[in-house]
Amino acid sequence: MPSYPGATLEIVLFRQFVDEDLGCGSYLVGDLQARQAVVVDPAFAIEQYLDAAAEAGVAITGVLETHTHADHVSGHGRFALEHGIPTSIHPIAEPEYPFVPLADAETVRVGDVRIRVVHTPGHRPEHCAFVVDETLVLTGDSLFVGDAARPDLAVAAREGATDLFHSLARLTALDDAVEVYPGHVAGSLCGVAMRPERSTTIGHERVSNTALAFEDEQEFVLASASVSTPRPPTTELVVELNRGPWVALPEPPSELAAPGDLPVLDVRPFADHAAGHLPGAVNVPLRGSSFGTKAAFLVDPELPLVLQAGSRDEAEAAAAELWAVGLFRIDGYVVDPTAAETLATVDLPTLTRLVEESSANGGTLQLVDVREPSERDTGYIPGSRNIPYRLLGRGGADSLDPAQPVVTICESGARAGVAASLLRSKGFDARAVADGGIADYEGELVTFRRCGS
């Protein structure tokens, strides 16, 4: 549990929760003597907050939202439907559910704990930060550890960046000793330069944060508005879910004998998928990094879906992660496939030989580097083409020859497996370099320098 600065340690409840899959931070703030608490920016899985509150002997009396989230489904609907707990948010959000409006400079009282609202638009027009007893600040999607939020999700990027510049100035006017607890940590798509720490201080960020290095507003706007971090195609869906009527907890998926004609998402480890999977299944391992984000790039939210899993527990855990990113159309899961396809892999020594042979034969190898372009700048294999894995299902594979084998590679192997399974589902003879990647490749790499670098 993070330490709480100040003299009121004995009465203040403060706990940080981090969704490791999505890189989202949420918070439980309360008064132990008054036995009251609020949750800030709750995840859809609200059980963690209820358990923590019960352990501390407090009742959750409200939800505070810094803004309408675009990357995860909020738990505020479940709190309302299951426990009758109200949600507070700035009215610019225009929510379609009953809410308590927040105003700039307003103080929310939780027992003797005071939470001051600071309107900090930029990431979204309604965005607010929450200053707790003037000793720590919950910055949501504004100031991160080492970076600042992206400004392009709700308004034009330059407009959002202009607002964000002034919002950051309001936050950095706080005392140097004020602790900063953000709404996102490293691993989230909402920032590009976040450091791995889960908290920081205003003073430390003032001298080290790349986004705070700009004194000129226009320079900040140009730099901030030019950030092009990819965003999942579920972004607008998640915003509408969070702005609209309360979202209830679905029933767990039930086991099916067969998937029928529905799309299949295999959530087992890649080695299991490669050894045998349902025909047409796309593999996004639950135990890999950023499961929900990867699935959001690849799964059509408008279509029903069947999971292929190793057990009921794995299927239910995967369903919970998919619900968190707005993917609710899960018809069931299959554990034992009645028919199986396999997916071939290529080890690094074999890849080196194939690259050499292709070079000698005029470039016959379809080697697809499925990393992001910014990663490719650090070095890539000659003759490879760059198609990020997230684009292969959305027209990115159209430039490939379906009559020729394809080999996929990434930095370490995880995304290459996802990409190969996606291409395999489209009928390609796809193979993945799954035992490593560019970081382990011993052949020659080409480095690339952009103009001005």
Using CA of residue 35, residue 40, residue 46, residue 47, what is the dihedral sign? Answer: negative
Residue 452 has pLDDT above 80, yes or no: no
Angle at 368 between CA 364 and CA 374, to 5 degrees: 135
Count of structural domains, the chain: 3
Residues 203 and 289 in one domain: no
Q: What pLDDT sits at residue 186? A: 76
pLDDT > 70 fraction of the chain, expressed in percent and rounded: 94
Instruction: Confirm whether 202 is domain-assigned.
Output: yes
Q: What pLDDT sits at residue 5? A: 40
Q: Give the domain-ending residue among 310, 334, 358.
A: 334
Residues 176 and 263 in one domain: no
Residues 105 and 177 in one domain: yes
Structure confidence by residue, pLDDT tens digits, 320-373:
999 999 999 999 999 977 668 999 999 999 999 988 888 888 777 899 999 999
Are 277 and 283 spatial neighbours (Cβ–Cβ below 8 Å)? Answer: yes
Instruction: Confirm whether 445 is domain-assigned.
Output: no
Residues 354 and 290 in one domain: no
CB-neighbour burial class of residue 447 (10 A; exposed 0-12, middle 13-18, buried 19+): exposed
Residues 357 and 325 in one domain: no
Residues 127 and 188 in one domain: yes
Residues 114 and 183 in one domain: yes
Q: What pLDDT sits at residue 298? A: 94
Residues 262 and 289 in one domain: yes
Q: What pLDDT sits at residue 368? A: 97
User: Which residues span the domain enclosing 383?
Assistant: 344-440
**What's the count of helices (H) and strands (E) in the chain, helices before strands?**
12, 21
Look up the CATH number of the domain holding residue 202: 3.60.15.10
Residues 123 and 158 in one domain: yes
Q: What pLDDT sits at residue 61? A: 98
0.85 exceeded by pTM? yes
Q: Give the domain-ending residue among 209, 225, 241.
A: 225
How many Å apart are CA 353 and CA 351, to the nearest integer? 5
Of 258, 11, 276, 262, nearest to 132 by C-alpha is 11
Strands 366-369 vs 385-386: parallel, antiparallel or unpaired: parallel
Residue type at 236?
E
Q: What share of the chain is helix, strand, coil (3-state, %, to 5)?
A: 30, 20, 50
More confident residue, 155 or 381: 381
Structure confidence by residue, pLDDT tens digits, 225-243:
887 677 788 999 999 999 9
Instruction: Output the CA–CA distances (angstroms, integers) from residue 236 to 73, 106, 264, 340, 440, in the order listed.
Output: 11, 30, 23, 35, 38
Residues 153 and 265 in one domain: no
Residue 188 has pLDDT above 60, yes or no: no
Of 105, 65, 106, 118, nearest to 89 by C-alpha is 65
How many Å apart are CA 333 and CA 278, to the nearest integer? 12
Instruction: Confirm whether 244 is domain-assigned.
Output: no
Instruction: Confirm whether 215 is domain-assigned.
Output: yes
Residues 58 and 204 in one domain: yes
User: Which two tokens mark 309?
Assistant: 């899993």
Residue 6 main-chain phi, psi, to 5 deg: 110, 180
How confident is the model over 114-133, as a mean pLDDT? 97
Residue 377 has pLDDT above 90, yes or no: no
Q: What pLDDT sits at residue 446? A: 86
Look up the CATH number of the domain holding residue 384: 3.40.250.10
Max mean pLDDT among 335-344, 376-385, 416-425 falls in 416-425
How many Å apart are CA 293 and CA 24, to the nearest integer? 12
Are 78 and 46 spatial neighbours (Cβ–Cβ below 8 Å)? Answer: yes
Structure confidence by residue, pLDDT tens digits, 70-108:
999 999 999 999 999 999 999 999 999 999 999 999 999
Residues 208 and 112 in one domain: yes
